[in-house]
Every structure is written in structure tokens, then in C-alpha cells.
């Protein structure tokens, strides 16, 4: 087989430097240690500061480094292990699902949400916002969309707003009989509100996990969970569930 055009393109200098820096992080630096300033690092590796910045930015995107205001650039801890799937199907809010309710609002759905739910765009939807915290860090933010028709027993008087309102929506949802669920995972970019929740810049790479919860009557709720791509790695176990696993070693691919 002949050489393709891509195979003839030389590796960018910053990409090679990123590999060298990654090895140095493993051998010469500890988690949480502050890296020398850019001038020192550029001199150490014999590269221009512009090349160094590109390599550092790539390592930050990959979760190897963290830039902390007032501190500098530090070596990031290993990726957090957080299970996304579970051995059994259950409603959001089931005991031990790992999510913390933040708020709930009611409004007409966007066209995209209405399409996911398979319902009319003029039917009110409760949107529950939840976060997932591991080792003191918010690693995921979720928007759970529940049509008002799925929770007809919800009282507007009891728990009108905040986490209590979110728990009330989840409680009513769990009264239904769950027939099944499906899940899809894709790479995306953080929206402004999710970026703020996750302490990332808007547009930062994230993992989007979309789950549909179904009853005999159809789709009862849809969850769109946004995970920090720099702190999470998705693996698929024998059970078919999706989980975010600890990454003990970092091998360049």
C-alpha cells in the first residue's frame, strides 16, 4: 500500500514537545507540584515560548495540567473514576445515583428538547438541574427534562423552587413504571452555563451522555449530562454499562 498524504506530514514541533513534557511530568514532578515558569521550561527543552505554550495548552486540554489563578500551572491529579451506568435500570434520583439536585424550572421546551422527548413543543416541561461531585470537584452537570404530563401529581404549592422543587419532580417521576432506557455518548463543547458549573471555559471539550427513560406510554424523561472531558475517561464493561474509570497511567496515542 502506498504512502498516504497524511503520512508525509511531519509531526508538529509542539506535539513532539507535548510527548516529551508528558514523560517529564511522570518522572520529575508530583501531583499538585507547580511547574517552572515558561522562560525556564523553554530554556530547559530548547524551544521557543510560543511552541511551549501550545504544548502546555494541549496538556491542559488532556487533563494533565491545571492552571490555577494566583498559583500557576500545576500537575493535575489522575482522572476521577465515576460510574455513569449501573447494573440495573432506574429512575434519576434513585438511592445512590450520585447526583445532587440544584434547581427545577418549568417552561416550554426548545425544539431540540421537544424532539428528544417526542412530544409537542407547546407542552410544558420541568427541567431539573443536578450536579455530580467527586472528591470535592464538580465533574458533571445534568439537565433532566420531564414533561408535565409525566408528573401530573406534582403540586405547584409544595416546594415551589430550588433543590426541594427538584426533589419533588424526581419523587413524582419515580412513581411511574420504568420500561427501559437507552443511552448515547458523544464529544461536545461546553455551553456557557455548563462551563461555569464545571469551572471550564465556554467551548472546552466535554462528554455528553444523553439518556432516554421510557414507560409504556413513551418517553417519560430525557437526561443530558455534561462531563468534564479533561477529568473523565469512558470505558465499557462486560455488563454493557458505561462508566468513567480511573486512568492509572497515561500512554500517548
Is residue 252, in this structure, part of any structural domain at all?
A: no
What is the domain-level CATH number for residue 227? 3.40.1410.10
Query: Which residues are within 8 A (CB) of 196 and not within 5 positions of it... i.e. 6 or more apart?
Result: none
Residue-by-residue DSSP string for 16-58: HHHHHHHHHHHHH--TTPBPPPHHHHHHHHT--HHHHHHHHHH
Are 35 and 130 contained in the same domain?
no
More confident: 11 or 238: 11
Average the pLDDT over 88-112 and give the result.
86
Q: Give residue 23's pLDDT band: very low, low, confident or very high (50, 70, 90).
A: confident
Residue 251 pLDDT > 60: no
Are 40 and 147 contained in the same domain?
no
Residue 91 — φ and ψ, nearest 5°?
-75, 155
Contact 250, 64 (CB under 8 A): yes
Are 50 and 95 contained in the same domain?
no
**Grid coordinates 452555563 are at which residue?**
193
Contact 246, 78 (CB under 8 A): yes
Residue 108 pLDDT > 90: yes
What is the domain-level CATH number for residue 42? 1.10.10.10
Are 88 and 112 contained in the same domain?
yes
Residue 83 pLDDT > 80: no
pLDDT of residue 244: 44
Cell of 128: 431539573
Q: Give residue 81's pLDDT band: very low, low, confident or very high (50, 70, 90).
A: low
* DSSP annotation of 155: -
Domain residues for the domain of 38 are: 6-75
Largest CA distance in the chain: 71
Are 47 and 131 contained in the same domain?
no
* Range from 7-21, 62-76, 214-228 that averages highest in pLDDT: 214-228
Is residue 168, in this structure, part of any structural domain at all?
A: yes
pLDDT of residue 96: 74
Are 141 and 52 contained in the same domain?
no
Is residue 250, in this structure, part of any structural domain at all?
A: no
Structurally, the chain folds into a number of domains equal to 2
Residue 190 — φ and ψ, nearest 5°?
-70, 130
The residue from 22, 51, 75 where one domain ends is 75
pLDDT of residue 234: 61
CA–CA separation, 133 and 143 (whole Å): 15
The residue from 45, 75, 105 where one domain ends is 75
pLDDT of residue 172: 93
More confident: 198 or 10: 198
Is residue 249, in this structure, part of any structural domain at all?
A: no
CA–CA separation, 241 and 90 (whole Å): 13
Is residue 86, in this structure, part of any structural domain at all?
A: yes
Are 219 and 120 contained in the same domain?
yes
Are 58 and 125 contained in the same domain?
no
Are 156 and 199 contained in the same domain?
yes
Are 40 and 151 contained in the same domain?
no
Encode pLDDT of 31-51 as tens digits.
889 999 999 999 998 999 999
* DSSP annotation of 240: S
The residue from 36, 59, 75 where one domain ends is 75
Are 109 and 159 contained in the same domain?
yes
Residue 85 pLDDT > 60: no
Encode pLDDT of 130-185 as tens digits.
998 876 778 899 999 999 999 998 876 666 778 999 999 999 999 999 999 888 88
Encode pLDDT of 193-244 as tens digits.
888 888 887 888 888 889 999 999 999 999 999 988 877 766 655 444 444 4
Is residue 36, in this structure, part of any structural domain at all?
A: yes
Is residue 251, in this structure, part of any structural domain at all?
A: no
Q: Give residue 82's pLDDT band: very low, low, confident or very high (50, 70, 90).
A: low
Are 123 and 160 contained in the same domain?
yes
Amino acid at each position: 500500500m502506498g504512502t498516504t498524504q497524511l503520512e508525509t506530514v511531519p509531526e508538529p514541533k509542539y506535539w513532539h514537545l507535548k510527548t516529551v513534557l508528558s514523560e517529564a511530568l511522570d518522572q520529575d514532578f508530583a501531583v499538585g507540584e507547580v511547574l517552572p515558569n515558561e522562560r525556564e521550561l523553554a530554556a530547559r527543552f530548547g524551544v521557543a515560548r510560543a511552541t511551549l505554550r501550545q504544548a502546555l495548552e494541549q496538556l491542559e486540554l488532556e487533563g494533565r495540567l491545571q492552571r490555577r489563578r494566583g498559583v500557576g500551572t500545576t500537575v493535575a491529579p489522575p482522572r476521577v473514576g465515576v460510574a455513569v451506568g449501573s447494573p440495573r435500570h432506574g429512575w434519576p434520583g434513585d438511592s445512590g445515583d450520585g447526583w445532587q439536585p440544584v434547581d427545577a424550572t418549568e417552561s416550554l421546551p426548545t425544539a431540540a428538547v421537544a424532539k428528544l422527548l417526542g412530544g409537542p413543543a407547546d407542552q410544558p416541561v420541568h427541567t431539573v438541574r443536578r450536579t455530580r461531585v467527586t472528591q470535592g470537584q464538580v465533574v458533571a452537570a445534568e439537565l433532566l427534562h420531564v414533561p408535565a404530563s409525566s408528573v401530573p401529581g406534582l403540586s405547584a404549592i409544595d416546594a415551589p423552587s430550588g433543590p426541594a422543587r427538584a426533589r419533588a419532580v424526581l419523587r413524582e417521576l419515580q412513581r411511574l413504571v420504568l420500561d427501559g432506557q437507552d443511552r448515547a455518548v458523544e464529544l461536545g463543547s461546553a455551553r456557557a452555563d455548563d462551563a461555569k458549573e464545571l469551572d471550564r471555559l465556554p467551548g472546552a471539550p466535554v462528554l455528553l451522555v444523553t439518556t432516554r427513560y421510557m414507560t409504556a406510554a413513551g418517553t417519560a424523561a430525557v437526561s443530558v449530562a455534561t462531563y468534564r472531558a479533561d477529568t473523565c475517561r469512558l470505558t465499557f464493561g462486560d455488563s454493557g454499562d458505561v462508566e468513567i474509570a480511573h486512568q492509572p497511567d497515561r500512554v500517548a496515542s
